[in-house]
Structure 1
Amino acid sequence: MVGLLRKCFLIFVITLCQLANAQTGSENEPIRYVGGQHIDPFRHEAGLRYAIGVENIQTLRANRTNPDMSDGYGWTYNHASNLAYWNGQFYQQYISGEADEHIAPVQTMLVTSKNGKDWGFPQVAFAPYEAPKDVDIPKGSTGYMMHQRMGFYVAPNGRLLTVAFYGHTENPFGENGIGRVAREIYKDGSMGPIYFIRYDSQTKWNETNTSYPFYKKSKDKGFRAACAALLSDKLMTWQWFEEDNGADGFYAPNHLDRSHQAFNWYARKDGKIVGLWKKSYAALSIDGGVSFTDPVKASTFVMSGGKVWGQQTEDGRYAISYNPIDQTQYRFPLAITTSDDGIIYDNLLLVQAEVPPRRFTGRWKDFGPCYMRGILPGNGNAPGTDMWMTYSMNKEDMWVCRIPTPIKYEVTQDVKDDFENMTAEGAVVDWNLYSPKWAKVQLIKETHANQCLQLTDSDPYDYARAIRVFQEGKNVNASFKVKVEEADTAMFEIEIVDKFGNRPVQLSFDGDGFIKAFNGDRMVSLIPYKKSQWYSLRVNYNADGIGSYSVYVDDKLLAENLPAAMAVKSVERISFRTGSYRNTPDRSTPNETNDPPLPGADIRQKESKYLIDDVFISSQRD
């Protein structure tokens, strides 16, 4: 009997432990994704729906042979960006190397924008480190490099600091670290002198053997106060932990494993702080970020070596953005999931589904949009209610994105977009835009009386794209106008797409001068088109069976009941693109290669230009 009672008690204890380990919202599982959406790893759009209205804008296009068209240096490894909003403009900071990750020289660049759309020319924030004479480089090091998990800090006194970390290649962490540097960014755009704000705690670097003075030597009282405020801000400085784990007790209580990387955080509505790290790790703090529970793997969030970003959004909800794939070398797509309480997340949606060709090979240059970072609490609040993030593409080009809130994926009414009530400087409302520097998407005034959407393209390896989500339906009537101004080096493709990215309806304004449509298994010519002339197109699509569609041009029926390119259950978006559909690189594309640059990668093609107007779409579910 005693043995039976002991056995029952043991089962009871084990059951309690199992329940505790499964308690969502507690330190055992701080966050949980409950959505049923998981990615299709074989397609760039990954089988996901779009977060509606996201605008992706390229801020730097790497250029090796024409550096005046990129950064002034021609360096092709660009990565690890950070974002802030201060003094009425955006600030983006990123690291830049000649070609490879963790190979000297590596410096930190700074670029700004007043509106988030038009970005200036990068300037050097922290140049490659030059050590004082007679300083020995540690064994195994090949030089010095910049590294940072944190880029900006707006101090309580209003000063803006930019911050980064100097270390030795090829590993700047731990005993290979030198220290963290800071300098002030002034309102006129200039920058103050560089100071060390903290030396690496595991080494003997100090003011006597490093290249910059300690911040306390500054004669600027306001700058010293800003640095002191940063050093006392526990949440901000947790971002430094993996580079310098505080052997001097700086991070007391110091119980975290330095292998947990790229920390960021947000505050829940109950006051608890949620800490996030790479590889799905999460923890909680109940003391305002002074300490955290042991990080645990939030297994419902599938991710690998790319960063993760979480924040509370302007509508009072929460969002976490990451690459939902467990392969470090293939960091696509860039997705987002949302929550009402910062604990339970649902609806995995696309932020960035494009993966252009990597023009320059280099060490550890993983494919796709990754290392996303938003604006940290306290580092400014951009106008409007949008969520802003920055990221790198292929560890080569730099981007930002604007994500409207509330974050949504469904449309429940007809689309009637004539673009007249939108402002040229503002958002193209409810349109998802992909806008590289050499293939821009923007609203323009075609004439005094007509505003429309313009897609240009002079990029030999990328394209402009505009997507409009409409109400999901089996029967769709879509009408729109297209004008081809120039089409010398690009073709204009139009597709009606389902929520998984399948493309049953495919049209094009081809380079041979014909409007074409996909007829079952091939493209067929419908009618020749002329440049600088508007064409009104109408597509009636029916998803029944294998699906079919009819095409009208200027109210003339040119193709009736064409078999769809593929069978789908319904459709929900229309896509306009200045180039052919692509799905490479894919998960089988070799990553670590040593190939020459893609031919002509640094040379602009002759510009193609397309205009879109009067997009009207109605749909029926049955």
Structure 2
Amino acid sequence: MAQQAILKRLIANKITLAIYCLLMVACTKEQQVVITPSSSSAEKTLANIQYDGEIVVNSNADGGLRPVIGVQNIQVYRANRINSMHADKVSDTYTHAPMLAYWRGKFYLNYLHAPVNEHDPNTSTSLTSSTDGITWEAPKVIFPAYQLSDGNFSINHQRASFYHAPNGKLLTTAFFGSYPKPHMGEGVGRAVREIYADGSLSPIYFIRLNANGNWTKQDTEHFPLFSTSDDKEFIAACESLLADRLITSPWWEEDRLDKTGLYGVEGQALSYYTLPSGQTMGIVKAGATFVTDNKALSWQSSGQAINIPASAAKYWGQKTTDGRYALAFNPTTRLRHPLAIATSENGQNFQNLLAVHGELPVQRYPGKYKNMGAQYVRGIVEGNGTPADGNLWLTYSVNKEDIWVSMVPTPTQSVVSGNINDDFSQLDAVNLPIGWNIYKPLWAPVTVYDTRSAQGNVLSLADEDPYDYASVTRVFPASRSALIRFKLLAKQVNGRLEIDLVNAAGLRAVQLAFTEQGQVEAKHEGIWKPAGTYTADKWMDVEIDVNPDHDVDSFQFRINGEEVLYRKAYFTELVPNVERLVIRTGEYRRRGSGGHELTDADIKSTKSQFLIDDVSIVANREPES
């Protein structure tokens, strides 16, 4: 009975069974006590995140990963110093940390921006919106920085922003931090605005002041407290936000010195999602994981994500509309490219790592702490809306100077079966072709184009970007032998179009080019060979015959049914098969570089445009007898 009383006291004080056993041994050598492990939730192995297998990537832009089929990478905002595309004519060249929501049939996206460097005074927050995720309104500043009593300007920062309140209102928030580190707990406080259904905004209020800051009355009263608003429903929405511990959990990083008991996870950039058990799984920077079973009233550390690189960039986890889970992240410890995704049936065991954004353009504007790559990924927080198309939508910055979104089809796929026959005539000007991977910078758009002729609607790749290109990719079954046909029209003879056939890792076996000098070229074992000329505004029938004999790594190249090479060409990259057709309006880049100011980055180049139609791919042909 005495031992039972001791056991009860020890368990009440959360002393482990191992310590208890040691104490029992010390109390008596004559009796061995056998303890059956409890089945209480406190002693169960906590849920964690792990990748089942080994993550292998290289330093190429795409990491050598297969892409998710049908991903559309869409540039939302392109930083520009002298020809601003911003509604407020902002000329900042640091843009970063976007957030995303979907409300009343529209996407809402906000992001930080500063003149040159990360955490520059002044750093503000801008907002844009879109009905389809493809075309976005010109952004406008919604949380402007203001001058503090110490003479510096505030620096905006946020790890969470949007909130769809139970009463139907949509709120957006930003934290007003201080130089030089706005996320170290000493900022002024968090501000809030309502986004109305027509896109207009309420006045700015403080929703919460930071108790740690040594600020003057002038600093803290720059915006009134939300409770002073005349709009009772707005006040109710703010109160709901403050009471929602899941939504406010990511606030810890900015309020970190504020010991009010509002937070349970002390980690940077928390992302969370609900597991099938009803528990909530969280992951923060560097891959630390946490679990809560009471909606963030308390969190328990579940250690480190297993077999997933510990990155300083953000992770994003989300349950998708197909009932599965997605984890988006940069799959290296240092490089912030590519942006990749793994999927899971249960939210814990992830597999099938694929590229979402596998391009790495050059960085146009150098700046302090400006990492390269597609990074700081965020999706739509649970409760903040589900896009009408049911797909997974992600947002991120590229090189910390441009803002992008990606539409990721669900369920994710990396391989296809059967031959390809794509006719774009049934598409309209709004939608992009399903099954094609699209890379669409603002100055190098991919669109559906009406030829106003018998050809009908076709796929258009235009380009006015001096440092980027438009690109489309069609995945087909991995083939030792394949016949690729499509129609091509160049609107000029001084633009460039490159066509590659690549394998699973992106190695380019076949490389063709329609050059800026009106020439056609094909690579033979890494050497460009002449293949004739082309003219503007004339449709060509292009045919690439890969390994027709199955026995050598070679291809034949025909235009309008005529051989344009004096002999078959041999692969530049020796691969056993090819599985992707890649078409882009510029020279191939393994990966971009940064750190130097680029000439004329703010000025459009001469426009080029190429039209594509009637793409057919016969895969896995049997050798002729």
Relative to the length of structure 2, the TM-score reads: 0.89
SS at match of 1:486: coil
Comparing 291-300 with 539-548, which one deviates more in the overlay?
A: 539-548
CA displacement at 1:620 relative to structure 2: 1.2
The equivalent residue for 2:419 is: 414
* Distance in 2 separating the partners of 1:186 and 1:206: 32
SS at match of 1:99: coil
- Classify 1:303/1:455 alpha carbon distance in 2 versus 1 (closer, same or farther; 3 Å): farther
Question: Which one-letter code corresponds to 2:115 in the other structure?
Answer: E
* Distance in 2 separating the partners of 1:475 and 1:457: 32
Q: Is 1:52 the counterpart of 2:69 in the alignment?
A: yes
* Distance in 2 separating the partners of 1:331 and 1:246: 29
CA displacement at 1:606 relative to structure 2: 1.4
Q: Is the 8 A contact 2:525 2:570 kept in 1?
A: yes
Q: Is 1:272 the counterpart of 2:279 in the alignment?
A: yes
Q: Is 1:200 the counterpart of 2:205 in the alignment?
A: no
How many residue pairs get aligned? The number is 582
Output one character per residue of 1:246-273: Cα deviation in whole Å (capped at 9) or x when no partner.
Answer: 6342326x4x43xx21001111112111
CA displacement at 1:451 relative to structure 2: 1.4
Partner residue of 1:233 out of 230, 244, 247: 244
SS at match of 1:504: strand
The equivalent residue for 2:610 is: 610
Q: Is the 8 A contact 2:423 2:615 kept in 1?
A: yes
Partner residue of 1:32 out of 29, 50, 64: 50
CA displacement at 1:557 relative to structure 2: 2.4
Partner residue of 1:223 out of 234, 241, 247: 234
* Distance in 2 separating the partners of 1:155 and 1:448: 50
Q: Is the 8 A contact 1:301 1:324 kept in 2?
A: yes
Query: Over the residues paired in the alignment, what is the CA RMSD in angstroms?
Result: 2.3
CA displacement at 1:85 relative to structure 2: 1.1
Output one character per residue of 1:114-146: Cα deviation in whole Å (capped at 9) or x when no partner.
Answer: 111111111111001233xxx346xxxx54200
Question: Which one-letter code corresponds to 2:248 in the other structure?
Answer: T
The equivalent residue for 2:17 is: none
CA displacement at 1:324 relative to structure 2: 0.6
Partner residue of 1:251 out of 253, 262, 276: 262
SS at match of 2:370: coil
Q: Is 1:451 the counterpart of 2:457 in the alignment?
A: yes
Q: Which runs of 5+ in 2 are unaligned?
A: 1-24, 26-35, 38-42
* Distance in 2 separating the partners of 1:206 and 1:160: 31
Matches within 5 A, 1:466-477: 466-477=472-483
The equivalent residue for 2:398 is: 393
* Distance in 2 separating the partners of 1:229 and 1:69: 33
SS at match of 2:486: strand
The equivalent residue for 2:111 is: 94
- Classify 1:130/1:297 alpha carbon distance in 2 versus 1 (closer, same or farther; 3 Å): same
The equivalent residue for 1:553 is: 559
* Distance in 2 separating the partners of 1:353 and 1:26: 36
- Classify 1:302/1:70 alpha carbon distance in 2 versus 1 (closer, same or farther; 3 Å): farther
Q: Is the 8 A contact 2:493 2:517 kept in 1?
A: no
The equivalent residue for 2:353 is: 348
Q: Is 1:165 the counterpart of 2:175 in the alignment?
A: yes
* Distance in 1 separating the partners of 2:588 and 2:218: 58
- Classify 1:482/1:37 alpha carbon distance in 2 versus 1 (closer, same or farther; 3 Å): farther
SS at match of 1:420: helix
Question: Which one-letter code corresponds to 2:56 in the other structure?
Answer: H
* Distance in 2 separating the partners of 1:404 and 1:342: 18
* Distance in 2 separating the partners of 1:518 and 1:338: 37
- Classify 1:527/1:69 alpha carbon distance in 2 versus 1 (closer, same or farther; 3 Å): farther
Q: Is the 8 A contact 1:318 1:340 kept in 2?
A: yes
CA displacement at 1:505 relative to structure 2: 0.4
Question: Which one-letter code corresponds to 2:442 in the other structure?
Answer: K
Q: Is the 8 A contact 1:85 1:379 kept in 2?
A: yes
The equivalent residue for 2:33 is: none
SS at match of 2:418: coil
- Classify 1:508/1:522 alpha carbon distance in 2 versus 1 (closer, same or farther; 3 Å): same
The equivalent residue for 1:150 is: 160
Partner residue of 1:426 out of 422, 427, 431: 431
The equivalent residue for 2:197 is: 187
The equivalent residue for 1:10 is: none
Q: Is 1:440 the counterpart of 2:440 in the alignment?
A: no
* Distance in 1 separating the partners of 2:85 and 2:575: 47
Q: Is the 8 A contact 1:245 1:251 kept in 2?
A: no
Q: Tell me which structure has the larger Cα radius of gyration.
A: 2
* Distance in 2 separating the partners of 1:51 and 1:287: 35
Partner residue of 1:284 out of 281, 291, 314: 291
Q: Is 1:126 the counterpart of 2:143 in the alignment?
A: yes
SS at match of 1:177: coil
Output one character per residue of 1:336-394: Cα deviation in whole Å (capped at 9) or x when no partner.
Answer: 00111111110110100111111100000000110111111111111112110111010
Output one character per residue of 1:145-204: Cα deviation in whole Å (capped at 9) or x when no partner.
Answer: 000011211111111111010011111134421110001111222111111101113235
Output one character per residue of 1:431-475: Cα deviation in whole Å (capped at 9) or x when no partner.
Answer: 100000000001122125411110000000000000000011111
* Distance in 2 separating the partners of 1:448 and 1:282: 57
Q: Is the 8 A contact 2:72 2:437 kept in 1?
A: yes
The equivalent residue for 1:13 is: none
CA displacement at 1:232 relative to structure 2: 0.5
Question: Which one-letter code corresponds to 2:156 in the other structure?
Answer: M
Question: Which one-letter code corresponds to 2:564 in the other structure?
Answer: L
Q: Is 1:518 the counterpart of 2:508 in the alignment?
A: no
Q: Is 1:338 the counterpart of 2:338 in the alignment?
A: no
Q: Is the 8 A contact 2:85 2:138 kept in 1?
A: no
Q: Is the 8 A contact 1:472 1:621 kept in 2?
A: no
Comparing 562-571 with 495-504, which one deviates more in the overlay?
A: 562-571
The equivalent residue for 2:4 is: none
* Distance in 1 separating the partners of 2:107 and 2:526: 47
CA displacement at 1:208 relative to structure 2: 6.7
Question: Which one-letter code corresponds to 1:455 in the other structure?
Answer: L
CA displacement at 1:425 relative to structure 2: 1.7
Partner residue of 1:579 out of 583, 586, 601: 586
- Classify 1:71/1:295 alpha carbon distance in 2 versus 1 (closer, same or farther; 3 Å): farther
Structure 1 stretches (4+) deviating beyond 4 angstroms? Answer: 68-71, 204-209, 543-546
* Distance in 2 separating the partners of 1:144 and 1:238: 23
* Distance in 1 separating the partners of 2:621 and 2:358: 26
CA displacement at 1:245 relative to structure 2: 2.8
* Distance in 1 separating the partners of 2:121 and 2:99: 21
Partner residue of 2:315 out of 301, 308, 314: 308
Question: Which one-letter code corresponds to 1:425 in the other structure?
Answer: V
SS at match of 1:237: helix
* Distance in 1 separating the partners of 2:192 and 2:146: 14
Partner residue of 1:296 out of 293, 298, 303: 303
Q: Is the 8 A contact 1:173 1:244 kept in 2?
A: yes
Q: Is the 8 A contact 1:108 1:125 kept in 2?
A: yes
SS at match of 2:258: coil
* Distance in 2 separating the partners of 1:110 and 1:184: 12
Q: Is the 8 A contact 2:270 2:284 kept in 1?
A: yes
Matches within 5 A, 1:477-496: 477-488=483-494, 490-496=495-501
The equivalent residue for 2:14 is: none
Relative to the length of structure 1, the TM-score reads: 0.89
The equivalent residue for 1:568 is: 575
SS at match of 2:124: strand
CA displacement at 1:538 relative to structure 2: 1.1
Q: Which runs of 5+ in 1 are unaligned?
A: 1-5, 7-15, 18-22
